[in-house]
Amino acid sequence: MVKITLNRVSAVRDHWSLSASGTFNEGVHLVSGDIGSGKSTLAFMMAGLLPLSGGHIEKEEITTTMLSLQFPELHVTGLTVAEECASWGVDPDEILDAVRLAGKKEESPLSLSRGELKRLHLACVLAKNYDLLLLDEPFSSLDCEEKVKLCAHIGQKSQGITVIFTHEQNILPRVKQIWEIVDGMLVNCGTPPDAFTHWRHVPQLIERLTALGSRPENISLEDLREAVCRIQG
């Protein structure tokens, strides 16, 4: 079974620090935290792209890792949209049809709107299976409908570890485990819905629904709609 274990992992910079311990097993994990708390730093460390200030990371049965960065421009290597798809090892026609960009095959990726580029980037990333998939702010730049589609795609993943680093509050996929970074430390809040009790970054709607006696089972839009229906009938 794939898993990644952080053993007293730390990052230290001037007056800022992050420490993280815990095991991420197969399934979808959510890591929340305030801006500047170290979500991206943690993602880089888990991807092996940033030296640790301390501690160590153990990976079991993880042979393929992908880190999707917050800003999709940073991934671009192709001069055209078709070349960009090919650089990810995916069929441009197939991908561009799926993300409604078939007419922009010969355009520069950097000429796409930010939403289009993010859609293209995520489609290329999600076209393959990785043992460890790290998604840094995958919902930024997407419109609400695209966020819903991304959640559906992530929800269909049946293997590997997917870790979503985000502060998105409204449209999220169903997750196995919730984590958060508080005061420079990674905290394991547990499994929904029990995790909601300890989760300091719990979305306002979940907090509200819980107060009204209709706690959702998980954090997905379907779970939230079901909980709202229980109140409103």
Partner 1 sequence: MITAEFLCYRKLTIDSLEIKPGITTIIGANGSGKTTFLKLCAGIAVPDSGSLLIDDALPRETETGWVNEFPDRNILFVNVFDEIASPLRFRRIPCNEIDSNVRACAETLGITYLLQRAVRDLSGGEKVLVSLAAALVHHPKVLVLDEYDSHLDAHSLAKIEQGIRRSGAEYVIRCTQQMSTAINSDFLLFFDSGRITHAGPPHDIFPFLKGTAYYPLLWGC
Binding site for partner 1 (CB under 8 A): 13, 32-36, 39-40, 70-71, 73, 113-116, 119, 137, 139-148, 167, 169-171, 201, 203-205, 208-209, 212, 221, 224-225, 228, 231-232
Contact between residue 196 and residue 210 where contact means Cβ atoms under 8 Å apart: yes
Contacts (Cβ under 8 Å, ≥6 apart) of 54: 8, 9, 10, 12, 19
- Least distance (Å) from partner 1 to the CB of residue 213? 12
Q: How many CB atoms lie within 10 A of CB 181?
A: 24
Amino acid occupying residue 80: T
43 versus 82: smaller Cβ distance to partner 1: 43
Buried b (16+ CB within 10 A) or exposed e, 108-138: ebeebeeebbbbbbbbbbbeeebbbbbbbbb
- Least distance (Å) from partner 1 to the CB of residue 137? 7
131 versus 166: smaller Cβ distance to partner 1: 166
- Rounded distance between C-alpha atoms, residue 233 and residue 229, angstroms: 5
- Least distance (Å) from partner 1 to the CB of residue 26? 27
127 versus 148: smaller Cβ distance to partner 1: 148
161 versus 221: smaller Cβ distance to partner 1: 221
- Least distance (Å) from partner 1 to the CB of residue 202? 9
